[in-house]
Amino acid sequence: MKIESLDLPDEVIRFYLDSGIEELYPPQAEAIEKGLLEGKNLLAAIPTASGKTLLAELAMLKAIANGGKALYIVPLRALASEKFDRFRTFSSVQVKGEGNGGVRVGISTGDFESRDEWLGSNDIIVATSEKTDSLLRNETSWMQEITTIVVDEVHLLDSANRGPTLEVTLTKLMKLNPGCQIIALSATVGNAYEIADWLKGKLVLSEWRPTRLQEGVYFNGNINFHGSQKLIESRAKDEAVNVVLDTLEEGGQCLVFESSRKNSVSFAKRSGAKVAETLDKPTRKALDELVEEIIENGETEAANELAKCVRNGTAFHHAGLNSAHRRIVEDGFRANRIKVISSTPTLAAGLNLPARRVIIRSYRRYDPNYGMQPIPVLDYKQMAGRAGRPHLDPYGESVLIAKSYNEMTGLFDNYIDADAEDIWSKLGSENALRTHILSTIVNGFATTREGLIEFIEATFFAHQNDTWGIMDVVDECLDFLRYHGMLEGEDTLLPTVLGRLISTLYIDPLSGAYIVGGLKKAKAESITDMTLLHLICKTPDMRQLYMRSSDYEVINDIIMARSDEFAVIPPRSKELDYEWFMAEVKTALLVEDWINEKSLDQITKKFGVGEGDVHAFADIAEWLMHATSRLAGLIAPEMSTDISSHVALLEKRIHYGASSDLIELVSVRGIGRVRARKLYENGLKTVQDIKSSDIATVSELIGPKTARKLFEELGIASGLRPSGSAEGIKSETMS
Ligand code: ADP
């Protein structure tokens, strides 16, 4: 099917022809035949890189030409940016008619308690599912104007963490905009028809790929495919390293999936020693530039570790990297400078980073309850599907590694020749339902128990299960919400002011109950930073650090020494809860170190985490401290002491990772906590102090480049006296 033959505005057709796309891929053509451009709902369950995004683009552009508005929902922030950058290329496409400008695109991933009304003027809005849920909770007005919804990676309905939010968000959107077109994009899963059925959509199910994919298993010196073998020369002790070297020899790049961060780092190091020998001079030079960038953007020893690998043409990639390092590694790989990335499976779920060969070194993953377990077929297919760069590689290959003949045949049976599992709704548990029941009532989607049941009947859970089974869970949730003063009434369910606030703050009602309880109990004389930090680290919304065996004694001693500081009485050490309590305290200690300006190097070493983790903990802590601040404002009359200002200050300190004395300086854009401390220690303690100083003095402390930027930021002509206006320097949006 030719692009030119589609019922789309000329500008859209020209745009695609100009970018070299003339003919639709078979699954795209099937989607058109099934009504993609006529507003029909559709589920496209097709492999990665088979043109799912483009399929969605056609529907969105058609909708915009008809005066509509599209919402593109993704599971991860990183994906939101990737799609945003892609859709921005439509800014020159005048689909709305001459004089109405090109397509406007917005991205919404920021604070949960904001409506982002300003985004309403866009034609396409990209958002994560959590942000979409929060926009619905905050009753953002443009939500009702959406005419096309694209849901990327809809198979994540199966995820215990994110699935319920996605499911409830979609159910709400379908109720809010009944005529809206829904286009769901999915990996190939066993029961794709069931999701399509739930969405009242047509199904496009296909295994077609633009680049051929060969799936094989390495065993005993060969990669074995169905019907063929490839001999791999043995140049290193590690078999996977040999497979890597073979790929490079063929002119390809390699993605290696490992089961843990530690293994991904050690593979990058190990293979680096051999990969380095294959690099030519220009590549080495290009890699040296990346190394410099890595060192410049790192504050911990991990940066040196990464730099060492990159110098050799390899890299590791996991959630512990800081965002600058992640970007450098991804871009370096795309530009074919970095030849090998060894990664935890996060990369398979997240970014569009294909390679000639994918090596899955471990098909087992650690499960806290059951130990090492084989991964689902769906996860294997997602990783294997990264092999083969469309238009660049002639083919792609994925390789599992077997130690015995039996293991090899098992891998063929259980992965290569196996179908992906069915996906199942995870909405049925109290933990998942509690928050969504509250928001459903707050936003008026249900006002009685019967209304609530009717709402649940419309979810994917009810599509797969008899709802009878969860009615007692629903009642338990309602009792919980009433008991904690978030809901009133028996026949008519009415949210209280507290219930409303908790819903819009986007926290779990259980977190809300812990925080409110803690704030009411806290006594003025014993409140410290730890009191409040532990309170938020106790909530189910906080991610918790694991306890390592070496931690027990240290954390136990800290709990004993600081027992007065906790808003709750610590459980006795023999109780089961004590283990949890220790993990909460350990997490709170990390945030405490962060706000007391311990260096990232110290924190990452002490807690055994990466820079990326510290920022992730700080992000969640800031959001929960913000919620605590808002809740403290609401329940002020019931608190024995006013701690609002303490909470508000902590929120800021977590944002900047700084002590209170530094807040004024660090609020100026571009200074950062380390440089701000340097200025402070040298007598430049306030913005006014800097204004009264001169650029030479400041340059000596923080370097000429930053000093110049700082002076510009403060509206001071370099070296001259300040112009007097301090306006704009403390705007929160600038941070
Ligand atoms: P997915 O979302 O399934 O990963 P994309 O839509 O991003 O896939 O497509 C992957 C690549 O293939 C992109 O570079 C895209 O421009 C290109 N592509 C998509 N459809 C076509 C087509 N019909 N003809 C040529 N290239 C295409």
Bridge partners (DSSP) of residue 125 are 71, 106
DSSP letter, residue 639: S
CA 571 / ligand 1 centre spacing (Å): 56
Which of ligand 1's atoms lies nearest the C-alpha of 3? 23
| For ligand 1, atom 24: residue with the closest CA | 21
Helices (H), 112-260: 129-137, 163-176, 192-198, 239-249
- For the chain, 735 residues long, the average pLDDT of each consecutive 10-residue run is 92 94 95 96 91 95 94 91 93 81 88 77 94 92 94 94 94 94 93 96 94 94 95 92 95 93 94 94 95 91 93 95 93 95 79 87 86 91 88 89 96 96 94 95 94 95 90 94 94 95 96 94 84 96 92 93 89 85 96 96 94 95 96 86 88 96 90 91 91 88 87 71 36 28
CA 158 / ligand 1 centre spacing (Å): 26
CA 201 / ligand 1 centre spacing (Å): 22
By the 10 Å C-beta count (0-12 exposed, 13-18 middle, 19+ buried), 627 is classed as buried
Which of ligand 1's atoms lies nearest the C-alpha of 54? 6
| For ligand 1, atom 23: residue with the closest CA | 24
DSSP letter, residue 577: H
Structure tokens at 711: 């002076």
DSSP letter, residue 300: S
Task: Give the whole-angstrom CA distance, residue 282 versus residue 335.
Answer: 13
Structure tokens at 613: 């983790």
Which of ligand 1's atoms lies nearest the C-alpha of 23? 23
Phi–psi pair at 141, nearest 5 degrees: -70, -35
Structure tokens at 339: 């030849």
Structure tokens at 458: 């419309």
Query: Taking the alpha carbons of 159, 164, 166, 167 in that order, is the dihedral positive or negative?
Result: positive
Q: What local confidence, expressed as pLDDT, does residue 348 receive?
A: 66
User: Taking the CA of residue 390 as centre, how many other CA atoms within 13 Å lie in the half-sphere pointing to its CB?
Assistant: 12
| For ligand 1, atom 4: residue with the closest CA | 49
Cβ proximity of 176 and 142 under 8 Å: no
Name residues whose C-beta falls within 8 Å of residue 5's C-beta, 6 or more positions apart in sequence: none
**Ligand 1: residues within 6 Å at CB?**
21, 23-25, 28, 48-54, 390
CA 421 / ligand 1 centre spacing (Å): 26
| For ligand 1, atom 14: residue with the closest CA | 390
Q: DSSP characters for 439-479?
A: HHHHTTS-SSHHHHHHHHHTSHHHHHS-GGGGHHHHHHHHH
Which of ligand 1's atoms lies nearest the C-alpha of 50? 3
Task: Give the whole-angstrom CA distance, residue 239 versus residue 330.
Answer: 25
Give the strand pairing for 395-401 and 212-219. parallel
Q: What is the ipTM of this complex?
A: 0.98
Q: What local confidence, expressed as pLDDT, does residue 733 receive?
A: 29
CA 70 / ligand 1 centre spacing (Å): 20
Which of ligand 1's atoms lies nearest the C-alpha of 22? 24
Task: Give the whole-angstrom CA distance, residue 87 versus residue 58.
Answer: 11
Which of ligand 1's atoms lies nearest the C-alpha of 210? 12
Q: Please calculate the CA angle 247-344-398 and round it to the nearest 5 degrees.
A: 35
| For ligand 1, atom 5: residue with the closest CA | 51
Cβ proximity of 510 and 434 under 8 Å: yes
Q: What local confidence, expressed as pLDDT, does residue 717 receive?
A: 63
Tell me the best of 54, 74, 154 to mutate to test the pocket of ligand 1, counting ligand atoms within 8 Å of each CB and taking the most: 54
Q: What local confidence, expressed as pLDDT, does residue 723 receive?
A: 39
Structure tokens at 310: 């990159």
Closest C-alpha to 193, from 201, 138, 102? 201
Cβ proximity of 376 and 423 under 8 Å: no
How far CA 67 is from CA of 123, 146, 415, 554, in Å, comes to: 9, 10, 46, 62
| Domains of the chain and any CATH numbers | 3-205 (3.40.50.300), 212-416 (3.40.50.300), 430-505 (1.10.10.10), 509-656 (1.10.3380.30), 666-734 (1.10.150.20)
Instruction: For the beta carbon of residue 296, count every other beta carbon within 10 angstroms.
Output: 10
* Residue for token pair 């925080």: 515
Which of ligand 1's atoms lies nearest the C-alpha of 56? 6
Task: Give the whole-angstrom CA distance, residue 409 versus residue 412.
Answer: 5
Structure tokens at 369: 């309850």
Q: At 400, is the secondary structure helix, strand, or coil?
A: strand
| For ligand 1, atom 21: residue with the closest CA | 51
CA 34 / ligand 1 centre spacing (Å): 19
Cβ proximity of 51 and 25 under 8 Å: yes
Cβ proximity of 673 and 599 under 8 Å: no
CA 51 / ligand 1 centre spacing (Å): 4
246-260: burial string, b at 16+ Cβ within 10 Å, e else: bbbeeebbbbbbbbe
Cβ proximity of 204 and 43 under 8 Å: yes
Dmax (CA) for the chain in angstroms is 79
